[in-house]
Structure 1
Amino acid sequence: MDLTVRPAQAADIPELGRVLGLAFQDDPIATWLLPDDATRARRNGYMFATLTRHQFLRHGGVEVAVDDAGAMVGAAVWASPGTWHTSQLTTLRCMPALVRAFRGNVMNAAKMSERMAEHHPREPHWYLAFIGTLPSARGKGYGQALLNSRLDRCDAEGVPAYLESSKPDNVPYYERFGFDKSGELDVTEGGPPLWPMWRTPR
């Protein structure tokens, strides 16, 4: 089985949104924001595609994993050092699609994002905003390849990495890559928590 990780292009964004929407179908935060099982993947996909297009792609931190047939099966969306914070202009550009995605829960999503930003480390780092693979591709090494692609660069350049895990079961997985858990965040006011994780370069 061939396993390829490559930089994402603008033409990849619709498929990237679809893949990450499916990857996050059972995510606790996604379920909290989008309780309708039938529409969650599609509506979450709008959000992933929109944020990737307007915030992350231009900084060179977006990569996709493709199988031996050339089909996208996973993606990792990183913010390069100093670019993790969403500007007001980017927020305005994203707002129509975010309203389409979250509808009546768009303010809950905005408040959650603000709380995450309040706790975000200020030290320069690579920020893993989203990573996921299609359910059918899990356990085949695509997630590992996506992580290692960026973490190898972090190590070579001596730059830390940061993420927030939305699933407790994923915390040990990230720990295998050198991330350390640093507490628990309540960004949903009593809903699902997040586990911030920091990685010192090796």
Structure 2
Amino acid sequence: MCKGGRVVSVEVCPVHKSEVKGLAAVLGRAFYDDPVMRWMLPDEAHRQRALARMFATMTRHHFLSGGSSEVAYRQDRIGAAALWDPPGRWRQTPLEELRMMPGFARAFGRHFTRGKQVAELMKKHHPQEPHWYLAVIGSDPTVRGGGFGQALMRSRLDRVDAEHAPAYLESSNPDNVPYYLRFGFEITGEIELPDNGPVMTAMWRRAR
């Protein structure tokens, strides 16, 4: 089925096109209570569906072609996913942005401007040095604490270290910062969202 290591019966696999819908549903549930996602999509009744559409759009039109994103399985069920960009590929191409626009418009609706604001702020603060970029990682709340996230982090960071490369992420939830610190990331700054929005934490992992 795939190649990957096993951590407490969790299998890590590259993302395939057939898994996009399941992956997006998992990430939609994972980020439902995320502070930044609540700010971008304040309508609780529609947030989960909108998030699933957003993550499906991102994966289908950008991350799939990069070949570096992964899902974590247990007993043929996706429990978590991580969307990574390899060095030099974090910025979406104009064609990718064009293809993603309809999906984003449907996902955000009248809150489209907020989604665009977050994207522009993230680009503004993004480091220019070549690096691996962890754009998204999340576990289904029903399996959280079951080793899915750890398996995904370890799988990709092993390759990062083999390449002696740095890595970067933005944590959209302050509760998750200690988790990333345990994997060697360090806090390098904050990204403040407008209109009294939440703060994202920029984190950098030095090459090893």
Name the TM-score class by shorter chain: over 0.9
2:137 equivalent among 127, 131, 134: 131
Q: State the 1:10 CA deviation.
A: 0.6
Give unmatched runs, 5+ long, in structure 2.
1-7
RMSD over aligned CA atoms reads: 1.0
Q: State the 1:190 CA deviation.
A: 2.6
1:29 equivalent among 2, 12, 36: 36
How many residues align? The count is 201
2:25 corresponds to which letter in structure 1? R
1:7 corresponds to which letter in structure 2? P
Q: State the 1:101 CA deviation.
A: 0.4
The match for 2:22 is 15
C-alpha deviations, 1:31-82, integer Å up to 9, x for none?
0111122221111111101011111111111100011x21101000001111
Q: Does 1:49 align with 2:48?
A: no
Q: State the 1:115 CA deviation.
A: 1.3
The match for 2:4 is none
The match for 2:92 is 86
**Inter-partner Cα distance in structure 2 for 1:150 and 1:5:** 10
The match for 2:155 is 149
**Inter-partner Cα distance in structure 2 for 1:30 and 1:176:** 24
Extract structure 1 runs of 4+ deviating beyond 2 A: 187-190
Give unmatched runs, 5+ long, in structure 1.
none
TM-score normalised to structure 1 length: 0.96
In the alignment, is the contact (CA less than 8 A) between 1:21 and 1:42 conserved in 2? Answer: yes
Range with bigger deviation, 87-96 or 155-164: 87-96
C-alpha deviations, 1:108-133, integer Å up to 9, x for none?
21122111101100001110010000
Q: State the 1:189 CA deviation.
A: 4.5
Q: Does 1:159 align with 2:168?
A: no
The match for 2:46 is 39
Identity of aligned residues (%): 50
Counterpart mapping for 1:174-193 below 5 A = 174-193=180-199
**Inter-partner Cα distance in structure 1 for 2:195 and 2:171:** 17
SS at match of 2:183: coil
1:11 corresponds to which letter in structure 2? S
